[in-house]
Amino acid sequence: MGRTLCKLAKNSLSESLSLPLVAGEFVFYTEFTVKKEEGVFSMADKIMEQALEILRHQRYYDSIQGLMGWDLWEGLSKKGQPYRGEVSGYFTRQALAELKSPETRKVVDALKERKPEDFEDIYLKGAAHELCQRYDRAVQVPEDLQVEVRNYTGQAQMVWRDALDKNSFEFYKPTIKGLFELKKRVAEAIDPNRPAFDVLCGTVDEGIDTQRVQQLFAGLKKGIVEIMEQIAPQHEKIDTGVLETPYTHQQRRDAAFEINLLTGFDPDCAHDSQVLHGMCTGVGPRDSRIAISYKGVWGGIFTMLHEGGHARYGYSSNDRAVECGLWGGLSGAMHEGQARFYENIIGKSPEFWRLAYPVAVKHFPYLKDVPMEKFYMAQMKVQPSLHRITADELTYSLHPIIRFEMEKDCFDGKTSTDDFEEIWREKYKETFGLVPKDAREGVLQDIHWASGHIGYFQSYTLGNLYGGQMLHAMKKVLPNFDELVEKGEFAPINQWLYDNVHQFGRAMTPTEVLLHATGEELTETYFLDYLRDKYLNKLRNI
């Protein structure tokens, strides 16, 4: 990435700071030194210094909650859940108490009087924006409601897991109803004058306009359907039998890990484990926890690349962003865009598999008798699917759109969560011509609603658009992008993403980052161009 991000360089001594290293559920402090340069720690006044201290404390609480969230799936016992809820609630209240204190209010009031040009750089401006936004949410949403949401979502995830085991939406129905009601209360507390769903989507993707999202999705769906119609005869003939093989968990884990390393991933900044649903949790500025759901052999590899993309974005904030409490990256579509860039644009390209195929053969020797081209086309076969996670790259974007539409209709009062199972069945029949045979194959397949991520699904499809637009901009600088991937020379690709996206952390808004990286506002055009080039050109010539 052009610099070693996990090692703190020892600079000339002028100021010593204490920052936490999280181990288990305890916080230890370590001393390290920071070179005091003009504009780095020279604050214009005490207000900015106080703001950074408050924000730093809030990120400590984020780290604790992130670690507990990861442990919820990694090791928490069922009987340990009630006490864990108490602990989580305690830290939520502690974080809110500091945010809502008279001292914080004075700092926030002073910051709100300043103009953007009053800040030395984007990081101080970003820190001020972050703190003011957190303060506003803290005072807008009642503390009891915030704690209730935190505890309810922790319990809801366990109910979802039990419902999945029981294969019963009826078992889950009261819980999902409660979740949507809670999130509606949160949205109304934040801004009672805007539609609740718009508010919730805005907490995930700042500045989002759901009407604009619907326009983007309409153009995208039209383009995807046109491509599907053109390639259907070719893809119906593709044999996927070469993907079926006996395997051990260790085989698939080792293959996924080694293939992810080909992209220049830094294993010293991440930890991976196996859970029911893939996820990535940022515990600290150089600590990303990956949890992989290994569904079959090859799904685990692409999940590793996906979650590895999240982890990479999470651990790559520059030192300035870390100092200002802005590490970890922007939530929602920007984060998904980075994950899906590595999973799909890189990981599902023919160039990447020419590079990675020898690794796959090493871990699965039967492949030595299978031509890479036959294996790759089996992986890329386009066919309607009932499952979002295992959907092919072309049709994948339609799956989050279905969930986005379900959420919007529910908040608009057109439907009820009680009817979600049937609505799901109808939408999948309309979109893909398929009907799930049960709840596990249908409405229960995602953890997002149970974990409180309501108003999030659009981020996956928008993330695809971000990725396509960034690829278009990157190729202006790296016209030999495909050649670099095939040779395994990822340094220029990773450096471009670091320079234009990753290093800034949360210092800018999504729109600002996209404009900085690509010079344009978001459009579906470039992602559709990428899909057309791949499915109508590259795959036809393999």
DSSP E strands, 225-274 = 270-274
What pLDDT does 82 receive? 86
What pLDDT does 294 receive? 61
| Averaged pLDDT in 10-residue chunks for the chain of 542 residues | 32 29 29 37 73 97 90 79 87 94 97 94 97 96 91 92 97 98 98 97 94 97 97 94 86 92 87 64 90 75 93 97 97 96 98 98 95 97 94 97 98 98 98 97 96 96 98 99 98 98 98 98 98 96 86
How far is Cα of residue 126 from the mean position of the Cα atoms in its chain? 20
Identity of the amino acid at 461:
T
State the pTM of this model.
0.87
Q: Please spell the DSSP secondary structure of 208-235, one letter per residue.
A: --HHHHHHHHHHHHHHHHHHHHHHHHHH
If DSSP codes are grouped into helix, strand and coil, which group holds residue 69? helix
The HSE-up count of residue 66 (CA atoms within 13 Å, CB side) is 22
Distance CA 220, CA 211 (A): 14
User: Using N-to-C axis directions, what is the helix angle for 210-236 and 196-204, rounded to 10°?
Assistant: 70
H-helix or E-strand containing 288?
Answer: strand 287-292
Task: Give Dmax over CA atoms of the chain in angstroms.
Answer: 70
Identity of the amino acid at 531:
L
Helical ranges in 316-384 per DSSP H? 319-323, 333-340, 350-363, 372-379
What pLDDT does 13 receive? 26
Contact assessment for residue 126 and residue 324, using Cβ atoms and an 8 Å cutoff: yes
Contact assessment for residue 129 and residue 187, using Cβ atoms and an 8 Å cutoff: no
Check the CA dihedral 129-6-276-245 and report its sign: positive
Own/partner pairs, 72-76, CB within 8 angstroms, 24+ separation: 72/154, 72/157, 73/275, 73/276, 73/277, 73/279, 73/291, 74/273, 74/275, 74/289, 74/291
How many C-beta neighbours within 10 Å does residue 437 have?
11
User: Taking the domains of the chain in order of start, what are their residue ranges?
Assistant: 16-195, 210-541
506, with CB counted inside 10 A (0-12, 13-18, 19+), is: buried
The conformation of residue 27, written as its DSSP 8-state character, comes to: E
What pLDDT does 10 receive? 28
What pLDDT does 69 receive? 82
Partners of 31 in beta bridges = 18
What pLDDT does 426 receive? 98
Q: Residue 136: which residues within 8 A CB-CB, separation 6 or more?
A: none
Cα 487 to Cα 266, 338, 386: the distances in Å are 19, 21, 35
If DSSP codes are grouped into helix, strand and coil, which group holds residue 217? helix
Span 210-541 CATH architecture? Orthogonal Bundle (1.10)
What pLDDT does 18 receive? 30
